[in-house]
Structures are given as structure tokens and as C-alpha cells.
Structure 1
């Protein structure tokens, strides 16, 4: 009887011991690093086409990842050029992200775009810039200030130099003439 009791107890303990066992990981197995592979400080990047300067990007910090994507965690400032040496518009934001495979930029946090030719300013919290289509867009609240009026609404589509734009859902217009 005592042998049966001991055998039963051992069987019970081994059952409990095997059922609670965690899957052990191989300590030699490599874990893939997902952080930035490169970090640059006080960055100035020039984009050109046929030796003609189109864009000048400045940022205090730029992080690059294995995928080729870039992040600007401390903000960025971008100048757009129409003719050599002539800045036609600017973009400033608290944060930026570049998706190289889709040729798409994201600007977030106090985003301000200025069209220096038309003296117009766009303010929003988030803005996407599609370099392939040469357009900017957002679904967030926007405020556009011109010399004559202030336009507000939700959502915007515009060309990248901000010389043409359309507010998707306008919510208000305030006349500044007087």
C-alpha cells in the first residue's frame, strides 16, 4: 500500500512538473535589432534633379534604419526651391518620418508650411508629403492664413509647393480685410 502511495505521489509530481515547464529559448539564438543603424546630428540634406537643387532638409537629429527609412525625432525644417537660390515654400515640424520604399514623408506636431511667393501659411498637426505625386495631404484640422482671410477645415490636398490647395471639409472663413 505504501509503495502504491509513493508511486502515485511521484507520478502526480512528475505530471505537475512537466505541465508547468516553460519553453526554454536558445541563448545563442540571435535577436534581430530593430532600432536605428545610424544616427546623424545637425543634418543638412540636399535633394536635386539634373544638378538642380529642389529641396534642402535640415534637422538636429536624423536616425536611419536598416530598411532605409529615416526618422527626425527632434523635428525638421525643409526649403523647397523653384529656381536656383529661390526658396518658394518651407515646412517646419516637431517630428518627421521618411518611408523610402513608398517615397512618403510624414510631418507631425506643430506643422507649418509657408508659401513665400503667395504669402500664405498652413498650420496643422499632421501632414503627409508624397514625393512621387508631388503633393501634400492630411485628414486633420487645418488653418490657412492668407493676406485677406483665414480658412479652416478638416482635411487638405495640395501640391508640394503649396501654390494650389483644397480644404476637403471647410468649417469656416474669416475675412481679414478692413
Structure 2
């Protein structure tokens, strides 16, 4: 899906190293990706086979247009084994931009990991996605499968949607396309509710089957 992700460059002055994990979530909006030069304040190798970057600021572009910006206090890339991976052990923050260079959504997580061979992203600990229209998703874990082109989790999820006004509590998680425009929630918790624009009362949902709701941009 994203050829630019597997060969992104992280640079500090004239020294280049391979950085796999940069801006994985920016592919909410992308078909193909290109990476701009990344700004890294400090870069060093603390242990054999481990590359370390501090105060990471990186940009991702499509056809010369910036689509996402990632900031993290620390990034570690592990080499020398059969399962190369990159980690953000001290949190990460990502802003995503539309074609007009306006912020379209934001993501925060306390930890992130990218497994190169599996083409899979793993986020955990207070994962929050906030769209500019106020729609918000909260969960403890989130996966992004590049091959299947989807997001998913089997953990408890809270979704707060502004328009139409609604709040959902999914006990067994959700799946979504990469644009987060088609979301299937699983096993809604009793007492979850949806406010419908043409109704005067909230209607509880108790089904265990997935409910597919479009997320308005």
C-alpha cells in the first residue's frame, strides 16, 4: 500500500539511516507516499543494532504536498534480527492535513511500534484520535494492517461523534477502513445510545452484530 514507508530516510546533517516507522498513520489519506527530509535534533547509536533518535520531527508528503507531521521525544529502531522494528516508547503525536494544508485530524498515543515484515502498526496506552469536526475515538490498543488496508482493535472503544450527535461504547472493538469513514462496532455495551437527527429521543443499541456508521468529515 505504502512503498514510501519502507524506505523512509531519517537524516542528521550528512549522516543517513533508514527509518521505517515515520508517519504511519498519515496513510488515512494516502494512496502513495513520499517522505521529505526529516529534522532530528539528536541522533546516535546507544547499543549495537539499535538506532536512536531524539526530539523527532518528521513530515510526509504526497506529490510534494505535506500530508502529515509526526513528533516524538524518542524513537528506537532495532536491527540485526529477522523482525526489524521501530518503536516510539515515550509517546507520539501526529497531525494529518487535507489538500488545503489544514489540520484534518490528530492522533496521540503513549507508545507505538512498527513491524516491518508484518507490515503492521501497533499503538497502545491512551490512544486518541480527534478529527477537526470534533469526532473523537478512545481505546487502549489500535492496529493498522497495511496489507488489508484497515484499522482494528478487539479492546473496549469509546466513540464520541459530534454530527450526528452520538456516543458509542463498543465492548469488543471495531474495524474501519483507512479513512475512518466506514466503521463497524462490535458488541455495543447496554446503555449505548445514538441521537438521530429526526428523532426526539435517544435509541439504545443492544445488538452484538456490527453496526456500520459513516463518520462525517
| TM-score with structure 1 setting the length | 0.70
> Can you list the C-alpha shifts for 1:69-127, whole angstroms capped at 9, x where unaligned?
2100001111222314122222111111011233321110001011224x210000000
> Can you list the C-alpha shifts for 1:44-86, whole angstroms capped at 9, x where unaligned?
1222232232322211100011154210000111122231412
Q: Which of 36, 53, 56 does residue 40 from structure 1 map onto?
A: 53
- Specify the alignment match of 2:17 in structure 1: none
Instruction: Say which SS state the counterpart of residue 85 (structure 1) adopts.
Output: coil
The structure-2 alpha-carbon separation of the partners of 1:98 and 1:164, relative to structure 1 and needing over 3 Å to count, comes to same
Q: Which of 112, 116, 123 does residue 128 from structure 2 map onto?
A: 112
Task: Note if contact 2:89-2:110 (Cα within 8 Å) is conserved in structure 1.
Answer: yes
The structure-2 alpha-carbon separation of the partners of 1:36 and 1:114, relative to structure 1 and needing over 3 Å to count, comes to farther
Bigger helix share:
1
CA distance in 1, matches of 2:194, 2:117: 42
The structure-2 alpha-carbon separation of the partners of 1:133 and 1:54, relative to structure 1 and needing over 3 Å to count, comes to farther
> Which structure would you say has the larger Rg?
1
Q: Which of 55, 65, 73 does residue 68 from structure 2 map onto?
A: 55
CA distance in 2, matches of 1:130, 1:59: 22
CA distance in 1, matches of 2:114, 2:58: 13
The RMSD of aligned alpha carbons is 2.4
Query: Where do 5+ consecutive residues of structure 1 fail to align?
Result: 1-33
Q: How does 1:22-33 map to 2 (within 5 A)?
A: none
| Structure 1 residue ranges, 4+ long, deviating more than 6 angstroms after superposition | none
Task: Note if contact 1:35-1:65 (Cα within 8 Å) is conserved in structure 2.
Answer: no
Tell me if 1:171 matches 2:189: yes
- Specify the alignment match of 1:69 in structure 2: 85
- Specify the alignment match of 2:43 in structure 1: none
Q: How does 1:130-169 map to 2 (within 5 A)?
A: 130-147=145-162, 148-153=165-170, 154-169=172-187
Deviation at 1:170, TM superposition (A): 1.8
Number of matched pairs: 144
Deviation at 1:175, TM superposition (A): 5.0
- Specify the alignment match of 1:126 in structure 2: 141
Query: Where do 5+ consecutive residues of structure 2 fail to align?
Result: 1-46, 202-217
